[in-house]
Structure 1
């Protein structure tokens, strides 16, 4: 089905592109660019350093005037769960549910924006509306920093950014930040009967993992608190551990991945400092996988009032998941989260967005356009 200004048809097309995180997305990005160009909307395809995936930035209105950014990611998590009842990359309708990978997180928001784009263009808004689509958000917001770095060449400093992650269209003022770290240890292989002739790579990791566990416990027991979040403290966890070939072989290699999630006011990477110190003592290599800052928008910010009016809901304090909103704020652009659906449906089999949710978001985007054209 070709792109359409009918939101559910647009969502059908978007879900049909298997833009799994870490994989190419150029076919979708170029299709979106062609759709926008066909409606006279200026856009730029911004290929990332990977070469096979890109961000997209489009402007409706005068780019030299301050405006609003509608930000969403087009990558989705894998869909290998056996509980899917049909092809997860073919949108299907069941009553009012639109089911497919990414329908809720967050191609539903992107579909609402793109379906509204032709009408927004006809409004010729005096305050421009920008569409910012990014890649590899699910890998720690890896794509959007390249776009943010280019934005001074693309538009005047924006008045604000609306990130359309699923919040039930309730504006959200804050979220946690995140940092992810990989640990790698190297040993010397040998027969397990002669440990004196080898070096166990897994054993080398253990003091570092113990430091991670201790830091996690310290953050929960005595770290800073912010009751807007659940849990109200910064957290740290060991997510993966791998190493060894067989029980009777001294493991030559081992690695682990650790993440920290930081409440507002805390730099996520600092939470992993005790882990890095332990790794240096044990000669374990470290590699940053990703990081993005927390979001903390003042409740008195004009963007909060605008989104309360557009959505019909009063802003709430915080969510514990992360988004690119913190990166926009770090770049000096006020940011807020507001999108259709429920985050509890994300990253699960039979992920869905309801038809009323999709249409309500579409109407919210059009309302923003009318406000910008007034």
Structure 2
């Protein structure tokens, strides 16, 4: 049972657990490993029917303890630039290369390795939470958190092992992404007066989103741990029309907002939707449909909290104020569980061809986990 993090990472990378796809095989592997180590394991199928979360516990579940949290899904590996099979782990110059090696199967593999050294006489429990479809908006963990009160006493905290170079991170922005479909009436371009140009409507929506972003940049609220220190909005996709001589009857745009702590992403979404409603109001041939694509709250853990002090001590590094990427940590915090980010690897390696992690950093993460285990006895 004493397998190294690299051994287990090779096994995990071999599962092509790309988001939005079935994940039964990798969940079964993790379940077998955890049960062999003595955990009480619960597999929690999601509403999709072909994906599941996993929650495992060691020690007395009726007492508050700590959660080690990671996601099992990865982004697709279809970009150019891979120098080998993305789902076969390779070693090169002290680094381990494969899709998910950094984000974030490296952390999961290290947890599954270190647990072989977990003491049997725990006074406080240790839990492992493994989720699905984090990469498309933290989908699976919401269902896991809904079940958590049935599975254990309220945890003292959760360590989210996203790549942070093993520096504890206290904060990240929240996010909301949406799709807006503007509809008009098609017609011949020689008679635009008889039609309603949906691309023109979408252009007004783009300008409204741009202006809302500019207002946040000028007026705040400001949070100077972040760069930029304000909530941001942008349009990332726009698509419509079929020919230059046809007035288009539909146009879609996808937009995203990143919200500083203290700003509810849903409130930004409401402002965007109100602006769009104003654009189509009073136009008989125009309408708009708005859809939420993804959303999660910000993380904002006080630097003086017990969890922040604990993880800083375990890691040997003072907490960092903020990161620009998002994680499941905000959802743990929203569920009443203090959460902090601390995991091996650099976010600069995530989602890129030849994604990699230093084998030495997995060893450092394993040592951190062993120090945590000592605190539970």
Q: TM-score range by the shorter chain?
A: over 0.9
Q: CA deviation at 1:137?
A: 1.1
Hey, what does 1:321 align to over in structure 2? 325
Per-residue CA distance 1:177-213 (angstroms, 9 max, x = gap): 1111110122333433333444322222222111101
2:356 pairs with 1:352 = yes
2:99 pairs with 1:101 = yes
Q: CA deviation at 1:216?
A: 1.1
Query: How does 1:257-296 map onto structure 2 within 5 Å?
Result: 257-281=254-278, 282=280, 283-296=287-300
SS of residue paired to 1:37: helix
Mapped to 2, the partners of 1:14 and 1:252 lie a distance apart of 47
Query: How does 1:156-305 map onto structure 2 within 5 Å?
Result: 156-281=153-278, 282=280, 283-305=287-309
Q: Is the 8 A contact 1:90 1:100 kept in 2?
A: yes
Q: Comparing 250-259 with 163-172, which one deviates more in the overlay?
A: 250-259
TM-score, with length taken from structure 1 = 0.95
Query: How does 1:6-155 map onto structure 2 within 5 Å?
Result: 6-120=4-118, 122-155=119-152
Q: CA RMSD in A?
A: 1.5
Segments of 5+ residues of structure 2 without an aligned counterpart are 281-286
Mapped to 2, the partners of 1:348 and 1:128 lie a distance apart of 36
Hey, what does 1:338 align to over in structure 2? 342
Q: CA deviation at 1:4?
A: 6.7
Mapped to 1, the partners of 2:365 and 2:135 lie a distance apart of 22
Mapped to 2, the partners of 1:206 and 1:275 lie a distance apart of 14
Q: Comparing 11-20 with 202-211, which one deviates more in the overlay?
A: 202-211
Q: Comparing 87-96 with 152-161, which one deviates more in the overlay?
A: 87-96
Q: Is the 8 A contact 2:233 2:256 kept in 1?
A: yes
Q: CA deviation at 1:253?
A: 2.5
Q: Which runs of 4+ in 1 moved over 6 A?
A: none
Q: Comparing 151-160 with 346-355, which one deviates more in the overlay?
A: 346-355
Q: Comparing 358-367 with 191-200, which one deviates more in the overlay?
A: 191-200
Mapped to 1, the partners of 2:7 and 2:326 lie a distance apart of 28
Q: Is the 8 A contact 1:112 1:358 kept in 2?
A: yes
SS of residue paired to 1:317: coil
SS of residue paired to 2:170: strand
Q: Comparing 241-250 with 289-298, which one deviates more in the overlay?
A: 241-250
Q: CA deviation at 1:334?
A: 0.7
Q: CA deviation at 1:5?
A: 2.3
Mapped to 2, the partners of 1:308 and 1:223 lie a distance apart of 30
Per-residue CA distance 1:355-374 (angstroms, 9 max, x = gap): 0011111111122112112x
Q: Is the 8 A contact 1:260 1:269 kept in 2?
A: no
Per-residue CA distance 1:9-61 (angstroms, 9 max, x = gap): 11111111111122221211122112212222111111111111111100011
TM-score, with length taken from structure 2 = 0.94
Q: Is the 8 A contact 2:156 2:337 kept in 1?
A: yes
Segments of 5+ residues of structure 1 without an aligned counterpart are none
